[in-house]
Structure formats: C-alpha cells, structure tokens
Structure 1
Amino acid sequence: MTMQNNAPTEPGDQGLDWHKAADVGQLDEGQVATCPAGLKTVALTKLHGRYGAVDNRCPHQGGPLGQGTLENDQIRCPWHGFDFDPFTGEAAGGPDFNVATYPVEEREDGIYVGIPPCGPVRRTVSDVLVETMTNWGVDTVFGMVGHSNLGFAEALHRAETAGKMRYFGIRHEGAASFAAAAYGKLTGRPAACFGIAGPGSTNLLTGLYDAKSDRAPVLAISGNVESAVAGKGAFQDIDLLAAFADVAVYSAMVRANSDHAELMTLAVKHAILERGVGHVVLPDEVQVLDADDQKASGPEGRMPDLRVAPPAAPLAQALERIESATRPVVIVGAGAKFDMPAIVELAERLQAPVLTTFKAKGQIADEHPLACGALGRSGTPVASWMMNKADLLVVFGASFSNHTGISPYKPVIQIDTDPLALGRFGPVTVPVLGDTGVTCSALLQGLRRNPALADQRGEVAERWAVWRAEKARRAAKRPTGGVAPATIFQELSRLVPADAVVTVDVGNHAYSFGRYFETKQQAVLMSGYLGSIGFGFPAAMGAWAAAPDRAIVAVTGDGGFGQYLAEFTTAVKYGMKITHVLLNNGELGKISQEQRGSEYEVWQTSLNNPDFAAYARDCGGYGRRVTDPAELSSAIAEALDHPGPALVEVLTDPRSY
C-alpha cells in the first residue's frame, strides 16, 4: 500500500482509525468527491496521480467541498467559490479558513482515509431535553429528520440506541402529528411529533388541531433556524411561536440560557394536565450547546391526583333527579373512556340503556343487554329510540356537539372533569364537576331507585331485533357498483378481534361504520371534532406504536387514504401489523351526497385512483382487491393473519350507504 499525500496539518497520523472511503478507480483524474470515512465526511481528490483528503465542510457557511470542482489545482467550494489546496487544506482566503487534512492510503481493495478516533460524546442541551421527555414517559416519537433539527435528532438517536425510546421516520409530518394524536387518544399519554423549521413544523398543524379538538395529549417539537437569523426573513424562517399559538396549550422557545429541562417539563406537563399540545421550539445552534452540568427533569413531585370528587350540593341534586326518574338512560362520551366499569355498574343498577357518542363507540360492547350503539348522524336507530323515550339523561364525558344528537329537551345530568364543558352549548339541568369515575362511584353509593323504575332491557332487545333484521336485508343486497357497506361491516363485525383497535377516517364509510359495525371490546379512534380526512391510516400507525400486541384495523375511504398513502411504506419499513380495509367508491362520496342534498349538481368529487391493492404489494405488503361479496370474508381473514401491513381494497357503490 502507498501513502498518497503529505502529512496532515491536523491531527497527526498516530492512533488513527482507517476507513475505506472509495473503491480503487472510483475517482477519475482531476475529480473531487464527497466520501464517508467513519462518521467523518471528507472531500477526496485525485489529482496528478495523488489522493488528498480534506474536511468536507467549508468553514465559511458549511458548503460541501466534495461537491465542488477542481480548478487550477484547487478545490472550489460550490456555494461561494472559496478555494482550498486539496493536499494541505490551505485556503486562498488566508489561514483563518484553512481546513483539516487527513492521510490517505491506496490499498488493493480501496482508498483508505485515516481519521482520529472519536472522543467522548458531549452531552448537549438536546440530550437534557430528551432525557426529560423519557423521564416523563414520552418514549415514542414520529417525525422527519432535517437540517434544522439534526442536533436534537442525534440526541433521539442516542436515546433509541440506549433503549429508552422509539423513533418512527414518516413521509409527511402531518402523518406524524395524526399518529401522535391517536397514541394520546388511545392511551391518555403523550407521544411526540417532530419536524424542522418552516414547512416541517407547519405540516404538523392539522394533526395537532385534531389533538386539540379531541383533547388528546401530544408533545410537538420544532427545529428552528439559528437565532442569529431568526426574524430576518431567512430561509425557512417563520415565527413558530405565533404559528402554534392557537393550537398549543403551551409553547416555548428554548434559548441558550434557558432552564432547558424545566421548559420540556412544562411542555409535557401542560400536554398531560390540559389534554392538549405542548410545544417547544429549538434553534439550531442551541440544540448542540454543551450541557454536562445540567440535570434532566421528571414528574416526581410535579403531578397532582386528578381524581377529584364532586361537590356535595350538585351530587345531591343529581341523586334526587335519578330517584325521580322511571326511564333514565346513560350517555357516555370519549371523556368516560377509562371509567366504563363503574358507569356500566350504575346503568345496570338503574336498568338504564347505555348510549354512546360516535367518538365513544366501542366503550361498551353492543352485545351487552343495555347497550344501544351510538347516537347521532353516525348512530343506530336503537340509540335514538331509547333516548326519545327517556325521562332523564345521565351524561358522562360528552361535549354535546351538534353532531352528537343529544336531545336538548330532556332533563340532563352532565358529569365532566372540565368546568368549561359543562353546559357548553346550552344549560343543563344538573352540571356536576368531578372526575368521571369518582363521581360515578359517589352516585352508586348514594343511589336510591324509583320504585316505578322501568326495566328497559326487553325494549332494547326488541329494537336491536328490528335493526339487525334491517341490517341483514341491506347486507344481502348486491349493488352493481361493488359490495354494499352493510355487507362489509357485517363481515368486519364478525372477524375483527374483540380487543382490536379500529381507526376510522372521515367519509361515507364512517357513517356506515357507525351504523353497521357492532363492537365487542374494540377501541375506536377517529378525528372526532376536527373531522379531518386522512386521519385513518396515520392513526393506525400511532395505535400500533401504542399497542403492538393488539390487532390494529384501519377503515378508510379512497379519498382519505389518498392523502397519506405513502405512509404505507412507513408501515412496511417498521413491520407494523396493520390491517387496512379501504372502501373505494371512486369519489368523495360524502361530498357528492351533500351536493345532492343541497340540490346542486355533483361536481369535482370524482377521483382518479390507482389499484390500491397492487400499490400495497408494490410497497412490500399484502394487497387484495375485492369486487365480489363472496370473496370478502377470506380476504379480510388473510389480511388479519398477515404478519405486516395488509390492505383489502373493496370496491363499493358511491350511492350505497
């Protein structure tokens, strides 16, 4: 082997690690190229039969010298034209701009460059922030690494290598925030989403508004331009604190002299306690500042017990109302998700039907003798019938939005942990502020039933018999344009595992899901109040990260999946076992329906779709297209058994609901 250049100016060649940077013959005479040498990147030159290696980074603004040209035996920086000697590293602009050189050896199997061993890893501000995140239990991050978040990304890399967190690199930041929102909805704990300055962070906003609307805890992390150019209109420079002001319950810029751990603690704490978005902005240069003397923070001594009992007076009023009712019903929203055993016990004591909002679908199994399915536009006639017959509504953790369909003409006891949720859309008879589970237990302890209390279980069973007969009639139909939605959800009701997590997108398929799918103990996630199309598949990725041992089923339309279909490759990359059932009607069917309902012509709702099943196969997953109802059961069963991402594309008629 032959040493090919002069001794380096720095560092010396003793104790070097030698790395193969190029193959023999890879560089032509008079060529400079960017080549990796371990973790170092060098500009490798072949000139006059000799090889030279200098640091690839121009000291002016970091331009990649290996992408430059050789002119007059000098490397010319491609960004600003600075010239450097390829063997000595001397700069034409003077010694202040000289770059380091490294020894080169030409060996039989390649061109090797000697690099000094890496020194001990410096602990940075980013490490302090990541350690604080993981101390708070934030161990899952969805995001995209880019030029203004590299320092923080390296800290995430170190934490993942140490087994303290998991990182999922997505194709679009909107998918990252939807996935994090779904994680928070399912678990009540925050995951993080991560982007660069400018568009990387603004792409997060839709998913973060979904988290805000549905009260899901999420941590959002934004890289940012260097502080020296912020506010001057530099590349990708926007005011991220202003951009996130409406969506976040907490947003802070991390500066050089900040209490870094405390700012991250406040972001996570706000996300958990206020069930919203905590946001931190990290200027590029701050991410890599030394922080050897800084301690990470954590939740010890920082979190209250939130299981607060209701005041005595409204509790007594609620008990008095319940005692006087003969046909009470219980309505549960998503805010009651983690307290269902106590609520079901109360309903059983009162022999009261249990109705859910659409967001709360699945919180009680439809096979329970008191369960009536969901209320509202996506609900069952069983639920609306029993509500209309009721003389008292006892409502836990629901917001009374206009889509929910809770009757404003009935006496209402509303129980919620959020004082602003009580009577939000109009007065209720008895507003009760308290933790849902604690309040329900207090109601059980003081419960006195009306002697004339009706046993409504028989009526619930009768209404289900009528509705199931109608569903079976619709499922037996064979529309010319494909498979009837009632048929699809009949099969899904039968085949989806009882403990699955089902994520539902926005569109006609969601209405059909609400009407026809009968739940067992499945958890159902959706973009509830924001109603954002595109939620379904990214949400399934978040659900898989939160509960990889449960079956994860995404139900979407062609319009929704089309917005994030590249994320199927993300699911393949990470081996996410997601079963995706896609109802393809070739258009934005819900919008077409609304246009007809408004007596407009149907306009600009058609879609030019690919073969989604073939696309799934091209991405490395399972894909099968179904046009015949007879094939539906086997296709869904195969997809559920597939060890990775699987897509069943079912062609449907846009006029079939």
Structure 2
Amino acid sequence: MFDKTAGSYVIEGLKEWNVSHLFGMPGDSINEFVEELRKQQAIRFIQIRHEETGALAASAYSKLTGRIGVCMSIAGPGAVHLLNGLYDARKDKTPVLAIVGQVEHSKVGTDTFQELKLEAMFDDVAVYNRQVQNADQLPDMLNQAIRTAYAEKGPAVLSVSDDLFSTKIKREKALTSSEYSSPRIVPASEELRNAGKLIDAAEKPVILAGKGAKDASCELLTFSEKIKAPIILTLPAKGIVPDSHPHNLGQLGQLGTKPSAEAVKDADLLILAGTSYPYRDYLPDDTPAIQLDIDPKAIGKYYPVTLGIAGDMKPGIGWLAENVSVKDDSFLKKYIEQRAVWQRQLQKETDKVTEALQPQQVVAEVQKIIGPSDVVSLDVGSVTIWAARYLQLSGQPFVLSSWLATMGCGLPGGIAAKLAFPERQVIVLAGDGGFSMGMQDFATAVKYKLPMMIVVFNNQKIQLIEDEQDKAGNVPSQVEIADIDYAAFAIACGGEGHTARTRAELQDALAKARESKKPVVVNAYIEDVSSI
C-alpha cells in the first residue's frame, strides 16, 4: 500500500460516511487539513465568518437531514467559538462531528501560542472527545468519533495537531469501518398491554408528543382518532401533525395555547410520546401518565410517570392504535370547540387594522407565502412565541434551537437548510436581537449563492427579556438595542434588502423576496407588543 497522508484518509473516511458539507474557517492549526480539502471536490467546504455559525449550522443540518453535520476550527479561539453550537447539538440530541486543530504535536503541553486543554474544554459537551496522539490513529479514530455521534446522538470532537494531517502513513490493516447500523427497538409486549389497560380505563386522555414521534405521525393521528384524545405538540415537533388538524391544540407552556393548558389540567391520563417535556409547572400535579421514548434514561426524568415504555414510536404507537378500545368523543369535542374559539381570537388579532405593524400580522403575511415544501428556520426570542402561536405548519421541515434556546440560531439554520434542500424555499424568522448576534454570516449565504428569505422582526429591543423582567415585578432594564438598517446591511453584503413599516409594504417585500435569486432580508418594523 502506498504511503498517503493521514489527512487524505480523513477525507476518504468522510466520503464513506456520506459527508457532503463541512463548515469552518482556515487557520494555522488546521491548514494542513484545509490543504487536503482543497485537493478534492466531493466535500464542499463552507467558509463561515464565525465558528459559532459553523457549529450551529452543522447542528441544524443534522436536525433537518438525520445525517451527521460536520464543522471544524483552529485551536484556541476557534475551538472556544464552537462550544455554543456543539451544546445545541448535545441538548437537542443530534449527531455532529467537530474536527478541531491543535498546536504542533511536539509542542502540546508547553502552553504555546493558542494552546488550550481541548479535551478538558469539550469534556462536558461531547459524547466522544479524544486528542489524536499520532497520525496512524487518525483514520480509525475518525470512524469511532462518527459512529459514537450517531449512536449517542450528540457531538463528537476529534482534536488533531495540524502536522499530523500531513504525516504520511501506511494503513495495511484497517481496525474500523464506516459501517453503522441503527438499532430498531420494539417495545415490550407486556408494557404495551399494561398501557392499553390504562388507556381503556381513562375517560379524558391527552397526548403530549415531541420530535421523537416525528416518524410516527400517521400512527399518532390514528391513535388520537381511536381514543378521541387531543394532541399537544412540543415546539420542536410543530408540524408533525398539521396545525390545522382539529385534534391539534397547539403548544404547551409560555408559548402555548389556552386550550392546551386547560386540556392538560383536565386530563385523567397523560400520554407522553417521544418527548421529555421539562417545564413541570405546566404539567399536572399528579395525573397518571404513560411515557414512550426510545431513550430509557428519558422516562420519568421530568414527570413521575405511572408506566414507561422504551422503544421506537412507530411500532409502539401503532400497536396501541390497533389494540385499545374506541372511546366516547365528548372530551375531545369540548377541546375542539375551545380550539375553534382560540383560533377565531388569533384570527381577530391578525386581521385588526393598526397603524404600525404588529408581530402577529407579520407571521400572518409570511403564512400566505409559505409553500408545502418550504423550510422554516426559527430564531429564539419573542419571535419564537409569535411563530408558535400564529404560524401554521403542515409537515414542512422546521428547525430551531429548542433545549439550549440560543439566540442567533436562525441564520445558521437557514444556511444549513438551503444546503440540505437546495431546490426549496428557505424562510428564516428572527428578531432583531437574534439576527444581529450573527448577522455577519449573511455574507456567507451571499458568497455561496444560497437564496433565502430572512424576516427580521425589528422592535429595537430584547422583547422577551423585557416581558420576563416585567412579569417578575422588576423594572425592565438593559433591553433596548440600537436600530440597524438591516435592509441596507443586506444590500451592502451583496444580497437584497427591503424595509416594511406597513402591511402593504410587507406584502410587497415578501413577494419580491419569494422571487429573488439572492439571499434577502426583510426588515419589518413592528409595534412594541408584549409576547406574554
């Protein structure tokens, strides 16, 4: 076997794992790997302006596709910048690989320029976290890292001194391969039968479903129709049951609906399907509960469930849908009627004529131009609440930072979405606070010709924090932010920008953005309206 560089084996390994994109920025402790990337065409290198964007985009890419997202950085400051995106992947349980450069291997431990203790720094966030000691290890450690990321649904970090990438090695006997088999876990029959008994005995069951039920949406609806149970979805699961479906009461909690809150309080059985809903204050005090989850560690973690069922959602929910008894629909009808009242109230709010744009009106206008195959990337802040309440999805891919809830995730999610689904329209909904945290990477979308629509809800403040301060009885403080002409910024980056202060201007801007072949920012000035 001919001598080849360890870095070339890494490229081959990434190809074998079907990696098509890698987010990063070159630098002196990763340049030898960048040289290997330069020599090939199969893996597209996306040069971002900030490593946090790269890690958040890798996480979003994984959430949208189910395939591993890959990012890279130099040692020291670049590695530090990755942490936020890697924690997002860890909290939202999605596989990501971070290839992190390190100082020359002969200088590791000498406290040289930009050296940090990378393994110590990534210890809490990574499901796999190793420093490569010599070049011969690199190909097999890459396979171990990616396999662990898939198996444990989280970020794997491979720290590599840059000189090791250019070291020539012979690989006569491979220790590992890129083969990965995802387990399929069928729930235990006894647990399903016991769950069936609890469901048959209940008169007012309610289903709270999360993103873990994404692949079982048909079974979930069949089950709901069989037992006449309202469905409440966590925000990451929004759209897996169409928001327009009469059984769907919306979300729960601070960003939820009144019918959802009342149904949960009224229920005599709570069925948690693919969710570890963490907000205990919004759940019943002592209602019996069944929890189905692929992860046994998640069962009973945030609510004292009566019965836990570990396994895949599709066979579990499917079995229950076939084997439980048909129920009376009086409980369900009660909340379908309440849902209709709630929807009429929301419609009244979006239809009212106001001098200044209101956030719910912006969502309503966006709703008009969303297509069935569009992708929505949602940032964090009051915009999250407006989208949860007013945006109606019916299976469109939808991505956000749910457990970490980091502001600034909208644009990286949009970049990832356009790379994952280049033929689809991508719509980013962001507040001015969230967008301005990482807006420099709008230039990245322009550079790589990734047309997308970014709607900025501009009220010159961190609205959600102001609302929280006020609700706590404090005087709102330090929440105002300086206005930026985001439309002019977009044009300066080489994209398109439109400003909207009225509903008519917004309609015109969205129509132009929909047809544009460039990334577009719609700077929508909105009235100061509390989101709580």
Quick one: percent identity of the two aligned structures? Answer: 33
Specify the alignment match of 1:237 in structure 2: 115
Specify the alignment match of 1:48 in structure 2: none
Match of 2:132 among 250, 254, 258: 254
Specify the alignment match of 1:82 in structure 2: none
- Say which is worse superposed, 518-527 or 426-435, in terms of deviation: 518-527
State whether structure 2 residue 91 is matched by structure 1 residue 216.
Answer: no
Q: Which amino acid aligns with 2:44?
A: R
Specify the alignment match of 2:45 in structure 1: 167
State whether structure 2 residue 313 is matched by structure 1 residue 466.
Answer: no
Q: Which amino acid aligns with 2:210?
A: G
Specify the alignment match of 2:142 in structure 1: 264
Residue 157 of structure 1 and its aligned partner are, at CA, apart by: 2.3
Match of 2:459 among 562, 585, 596: 585
Specify the alignment match of 1:98 in structure 2: none
Residue 350 of structure 1 and its aligned partner are, at CA, apart by: 2.2
- Say which is worse superposed, 553-562 or 463-472, in terms of deviation: 463-472
State whether structure 2 residue 255 is matched by structure 1 residue 374.
Answer: no
Match of 1:176 among 43, 48, 54: 54
Kindly provide the CA deviation profile for residues 171-195 of structure 1, in whole angstroms up to 9, marking residues without a partner as x: 0000000001111111221110110
Kindly provide the CA deviation profile for residues 552-584 of structure 1, in whole angstroms up to 9, marking residues without a partner as x: 111100111111111110000111121111100
State whether structure 2 residue 15 is matched by structure 1 residue 134.
Answer: yes
User: Distance between the aligned counterparts of 1:539 and 1:531, measured in 2?
Assistant: 13
State whether structure 2 residue 329 is matched by structure 1 residue 448.
Answer: no
Q: Which structure has the highest helix share of the two?
A: 2
Specify the alignment match of 1:146 in structure 2: 27
Residue 479 of structure 1 and its aligned partner are, at CA, apart by: 5.3
Specify the alignment match of 1:207 in structure 2: 85
- Say which is worse superposed, 252-261 or 278-287, in terms of deviation: 252-261
Distance 1:168 1:216, change over 3 A: same
Specify the alignment match of 1:619 in structure 2: 493
Specify the alignment match of 1:115 in structure 2: none
Residue 499 of structure 1 and its aligned partner are, at CA, apart by: 2.2
Residue 403 of structure 1 and its aligned partner are, at CA, apart by: 7.3
Residue 404 of structure 1 and its aligned partner are, at CA, apart by: 8.7
Residue 485 of structure 1 and its aligned partner are, at CA, apart by: 1.2
> 1:341-356, aligned counterparts within 5 Å?
341-356=218-233
Specify the alignment match of 1:651 in structure 2: 525
User: Distance between the aligned counterparts of 2:261 and 2:475, measured in 1?
Assistant: 32
Distance 1:288 1:577, change over 3 A: same
Contact 1:613 1:648 in 2 (8 A): yes
User: Distance between the aligned counterparts of 1:295 and 1:562, measured in 2?
Assistant: 50
Specify the alignment match of 2:376 in structure 1: 502
Q: Which amino acid aligns with 1:600?
A: N
Q: Which structure has the highest strand share of the two?
A: 1
Kindly provide the CA deviation profile for residues 612-648 of structure 1, in whole angstroms up to 9, marking residues without a partner as x: 0111111111211110122222221221221221111
User: Distance between the aligned counterparts of 1:405 and 1:335, measured in 2?
Assistant: 20
Q: Which amino acid aligns with 1:276?
A: G
Contact 2:187 2:310 in 1 (8 A): yes
Q: Which amino acid aligns with 1:261?
A: P
Q: CA RMSD in A?
A: 2.0
Match of 2:303 among 401, 421, 426: 426
Kindly provide the CA deviation profile for residues 99-123 of structure 1, in whole angstroms up to 9, marking residues without a partner as x: xxxxxxxxxxxxxxxxxxxxxx973
Larger RCO of the pair (alpha carbons < 8 Å, separation 6+): 2
User: Distance between the aligned counterparts of 2:328 and 2:152, measured in 1?
Assistant: 39
User: Distance between the aligned counterparts of 1:404 and 1:530, measured in 2?
Assistant: 19
Specify the alignment match of 1:322 in structure 2: 199
Higher alpha-carbon Rg: 1
Count of aligned residue pairs for this structure pair: 530
User: Distance between the aligned counterparts of 2:32 and 2:328, measured in 1?
Assistant: 65
Q: Which amino acid aligns with 1:471?
A: L
Gaps of 5+ in 1: 1-120
Specify the alignment match of 1:417 in structure 2: 294
Kindly provide the CA deviation profile for residues 202-228 of structure 1, in whole angstroms up to 9, marking residues without a partner as x: 100001101111111101110110011
User: Distance between the aligned counterparts of 2:145 and 2:52, measured in 1?
Assistant: 20
- Partner-residue secondary structure (3-state), 1:555: strand
State whether structure 2 residue 432 is matched by structure 1 residue 555.
Answer: no
Specify the alignment match of 1:335 in structure 2: 212
Q: Which amino acid aligns with 1:241?
A: E
State whether structure 2 residue 76 is matched by structure 1 residue 198.
Answer: yes
Q: Which amino acid aligns with 1:346?
A: F
User: Distance between the aligned counterparts of 2:58 and 2:65, measured in 1?
Assistant: 11
Kindly provide the CA deviation profile for residues 410-437 of structure 1, in whole angstroms up to 9, marking residues without a partner as x: 2211000111100002320111111111
Contact 1:198 1:238 in 2 (8 A): yes
Q: Which amino acid aligns with 2:118?
A: L
